[in-house]
Every structure is written in structure tokens, then in C-alpha cells.
Chains A and B, each alone.
Chain A
Amino acid sequence: GENVEQHPSTLSVQEGDSAVIKCTYSDSASNYFPWYKQELGKGPQLIIDIRSNVGEKKDQRIAVTLNKTAKHFSLHITETQPEDSAVYFCAASMDNDMRFGAGTRLTVKP
């Protein structure tokens, strides 16, 4: 099955700086790559996703890039704010299987 690795496991940045979280996947058939944000005591919530026919997608301060050849994708958060502090999960999926990374705990220091 698919295997997703996510780095780093923890990330601390100063407010206003950028944050980058990287994921690699093993199965070249994967075609959907969502990112979820989990705030303390809550369930994960989708923040952005990308499909395999697109290389980059932006939504305000967040962006995701996909390199299918290298089988890796990244989440970029610019101008970080304290409310961006949370655990972020990447995932990779094929038609009938979605696997999540282990998560990155992002802390934005004011």
C-alpha cells in the first residue's frame, strides 16, 4: 500500500515568517493530495488539496506544490499568524486508498 512520510515532525517559526512542511509518497499511482489542519481538541479539517494534473495551488496565505516525478509535495504558509499553530497532516490517495502522514506540529510564536 501507499506510504507517506512527513517532515518535520515539529516546526517553530516567528510570527510573520514562512513555514514549509514536506511529504513524500511511495505509490506513483496516487493522484490526490490533501492537507488537513487539526486544532487542539478538534478533528482535522481540510485546508487545501491538489490533484496530480496540477503542479501548484494557492489559497491566500497557503500554497501546495506537487512534484510527481520526485513523488513529493509541500505545504507553504506565508506570513504566519499565531492562529496557524496546529498539527498539519498531509495525505496521498489513489482510487480506493488514502494514507496520512504522521503530522507536523507547527507553533507560531508571537
Chain B
Amino acid sequence: DAGITQSPRYKITETGRQVTLMCHQTWSHSYMFWYRQDLGHGLRLIYYSAAADITDKGEVPDGYVVSRSKTENFPLTLESATRSQTSVYFCASSRGLAAYEQYFGPGTRLTVT
């Protein structure tokens, strides 16, 4: 199916565990993004990528790691999950960095206990 998908859709993990959220897009967009959504904060950018093997920090990168070995995939890893990382995570893709429409995935709801 064309579009942008995220997996898993829901995840519960314990403090200190490593967890990876997956994102896959079929449009061959150059840019991919990871956001977290928290009540009262809207969407905050964690990391973004301009192309394979090119990544850069966003507004709230601490505690997260990303990689992009293939254009279509952009996984987000929480190396040692903390309760403050409980959130809804959205992946997005776009033709450009900031002045272009971003296409969002359905989100992953992560709970850290």
C-alpha cells in the first residue's frame, strides 16, 4: 500500500528498556521526520533526515537515536526508555525540509511504565 506506515501502533515497555519504533514510506520522499505529541505541547520535532545516512537533531532529541540506511525507512530508538518518553510518536515524510506539506503516519502510542 502506498503511503506512510508506523509500527507498532501501541507499545508498553518498562523503564530502562530499549525500544525501536519503525516508519516506512513509499513515496520516495527525501525528508523524513519524527515528532512526539504531548498534551499542551502540540508536535515537537525529535529528529529529521534529509536523505539516507543524513540525520539531524530537532527540538527535543535527548534520549533518542535515529538511523536511515534506506530512503524509505526511518527508525527511532529509545536506548533506555524513561517515563517522560511516554507519548504519541508520529513519523512524517516530505519533499522538502520546512516549506512543504508533510505527510504523517498514523502514530505509535508508547507507554513507559
Name A's B-contacting residues (CB within 8 A): 1, 4, 6, 31-32, 34, 36, 41-46, 49, 51, 89, 93-103
Interface footprint category on B = 10 to 19
Query: A32 touching B90 by the CB < 8 A rule?
Result: no
**Complex CA–CA separation, A98 to B97 (angstroms):** 8
Query: B101 touching A44 by the CB < 8 A rule?
Result: no
Contacting residue for A100 out of B42, B97, B101, B105, CB 8 A: B42
What does DSSP make chain B's interface, helix, strand, loop or mixed? loop
Contacting residue for A93 out of B40, B43, B98, CB 8 A: B98
Chain A residues whose C-beta falls within 8 Å of the C-beta of B41 in the assembled complex: 102
Which residues of B from 85 to 105 have beta carbons under 8 Å from A?
Answer: 90, 92, 97-99, 101-102, 104-105
Q: State whether the Cβ of B51 lies closer than 8 Å to any Cβ in chain A.
A: no
For residue B7, give the distance in angstroms from its CB to the closest CB of chain A. 14
Q: Of all chain A residues, which has the CB nearest B92?
A: A43
**Complex CA–CA separation, A45 to B97 (angstroms):** 17
Closest 6 CB pairs of A and B: A43-B104, A93-B98, A32-B99, A100-B42, A100-B43, A102-B42
Do A43 and B59 contact each other (CB < 8 Å), given the known contacts A6-B42, A98-B98?
no
For residue B39, give the distance in angstroms from its CB to the closest CB of chain A. 9
Q: State whether the Cβ of B45 lies closer than 8 Å to any Cβ in chain A.
A: yes
> Could you show 16 A-B contacts with beta carbons less than 8 Å apart?
A1-B59, A32-B98, A36-B104, A42-B106, A43-B90, A43-B105, A43-B107, A46-B102, A89-B42, A89-B43, A93-B98, A95-B98, A95-B99, A96-B97, A98-B97, A99-B59
